[in-house]
């Protein structure tokens, strides 16, 4: 299971024994982790638990196609990946 799996959800107070109420913050956090895991599994086409450059580019190209239809300027995939790398390094 990846880092956003149920092991992460167990750390949320809503899943601790003895807890009787669910706060809005707990619900948002639960939904956030469940959503990330859902979309991760959707994008992990080969099910190896890793989002490869091929998988990222595959879904990026779908968005590029939509932006071309609407005449919206887009960034090439390679430049987008470089931007992510720069943010992670800083």
Give the whole-angstrom CA distance, residue 37 versus residue 50.
12
Instruction: Give the nearest distance from C-beta 43 to Ca ion in angstroms.
Output: 8
Nearer to Ca ion, 54 or 70 (CB): 54
Instruction: Give the nearest distance from C-beta 27 to Ca ion in angstroms.
Output: 30
Collapsed DSSP state (helix, strand, coil) of residue 34: helix
Nearer to Ca ion, 2 or 8 (CB): 2
E-strand ranges in 1-90 read none
Instruction: Give the nearest distance from C-beta 65 to Ca ion in angstroms.
Output: 21
Nearer to Ca ion, 14 or 56 (CB): 56
Q: Which residue, chain included where needed, has tokens 């450059």?
A: 53
Which residues make up the interface to Ca ion (CB under 5 A)? 44, 46, 48, 50
What are the structure tokens assigned to 8, written together?
């992460």
Give the whole-angstrom CA distance, residue 59 versus residue 42.
10
């Amino acid at each position: 299971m990846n880092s956003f799996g149920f092991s992460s959800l167990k750390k949320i107070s809503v899943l601790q024994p003895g807890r009787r109420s669910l706060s809005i913050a707990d619900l948002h956090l639960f939904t956030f982790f469940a959503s990330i895991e859902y979309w991760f599994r959707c994008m992990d086409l080969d099910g190896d638990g890793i989002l490869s450059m091929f998988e990222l580019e595959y879904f990026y190209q779908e968005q590029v196609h939509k932006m071309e239809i609407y005449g919206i300027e887009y960034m090439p995939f390679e430049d987008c990946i470089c931007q992510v790398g720069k943010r992670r390094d800083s």
